[in-house]
Chain A
Amino acid sequence: MIPLSYILILSAFLFACGVLCIATKRNAIGILMGVELVLNAANINFVAFARYVPGFQMDGQVFAVMVIVLAAAEAAVALAIILNFYNNRNTVDVDEANQLRG
């Protein structure tokens, strides 16, 4: 049996990597990948608790399925926005998205 804390530390590591990815990448698609990493980290936690906490078995899995579905939806919308931005500005560098600065 795998100790619960090992799985939680793995998910913490994935979360930190996701945050670093979001912080350092300028490419909008790179940022999207960081978000996917963060969501996966959260999902690992849900599934781990579903495995080890008796009262949370069903809820944990339901949460994880919801997160997977919403992550797919988020990626689709974000990609649509990025493609639209690319059509207008010919780049996906998020530093260029400064039209609202005035």
Chain B
Amino acid sequence: MTLDLALFVVLASVIAASAIGVVVAHTIVRSAVFLLFTLIGVAFLYFLIGAEFLGAAQLIVYVGGTLVLLVFGGMLTSGGPFQTLRVRRLEWLFGGFVALAIFAALAQVSLALGQRPTTDAPLPPGAGPLGVAFLTSHLLPFEIVSVHLLVVLVGAAYLARTRKRAALGSEDSASRRNGGTP
């Protein structure tokens, strides 16, 4: 058993265990903490495979951005402190059956794919070639994604504002002008 394989086994068990934790956790913030461990594990898996840029991107975008947003949302929308999530037993049975079927199908495909000869190709290209690729051979998706991000930015800001915001905003700026605390 080589070192790579041993590290992979450790990482994979951490990822799998915390993925189960996400599903069975009782409160939404605990789910988010297990998701945090899953995402960090996946980031280190990328480092192990040799895709350094993707590992760092996973850390900064998912862990530093998306997951903080999710926890933030979970805190803002929970009715009370430590509100528990209830799941009916029938739903567990049915959902578990579907998930097991999907896992079995995918695992069979994966094993079949693993039989094919793969070459131990050199490490995937780093940040530099990736950036060049984004501006030359993959320019169109890059531009589409950037426009899409702008649309998302405007759309999310538009959706999340409340109806009363206009009145509140003017009140707030008025109090700021008067030097008072809002």
Contact surface of A with B, Cβ cutoff 8 Å: 1-21, 23-30, 32-34, 36-37, 40, 43-44, 47-48, 50-54, 57-62, 64-66, 68-73, 75-77, 79-84, 86-87, 91-92
Say which residue of A11, A25, A50, A82 sits within 8 Å of B51 (CB atoms).
A50
Q: Kindly count the residue-residue contacts between A and B in the assembled complex, taking CB atoms under 8 Å apart.
A: 237
A67 → chain B closest CB, angstroms: 10
Q: How far is B53's CA from A58's CA once the two chains are assembled, in angstroms?
A: 12
Q: Do the beta carbons of B156 and A77 come within 8 Å of each other?
A: yes
Q: Do the beta carbons of B141 and A16 come within 8 Å of each other?
A: no
Chain B interface size, as a band, is 35 or more
Would you call the interface of chain A mostly helix, strand, loop, or mixed? helix
Q: Do the beta carbons of A70 and B65 come within 8 Å of each other?
A: no
Q: Do the beta carbons of B51 and A47 come within 8 Å of each other?
A: yes
Q: What are 7 A-B contacts defined by CB distance under 8 Å?
A: A29-B77, A47-B124, A62-B138, A68-B62, A73-B148, A73-B152, A79-B156
B129 → chain A closest CB, angstroms: 7
Q: How far is B99's CA from A25's CA once the two chains are assembled, in angstroms?
A: 14
Bitwise interface map of B from 1 to 28 toward A, beta carbon under 8 Å scored 1, else 0: 0101100100010011001101100001
Say which residue of B8, B28, B76, B124 sits within 8 Å of A51 (CB atoms).
B124
B157 → chain A closest CB, angstroms: 8
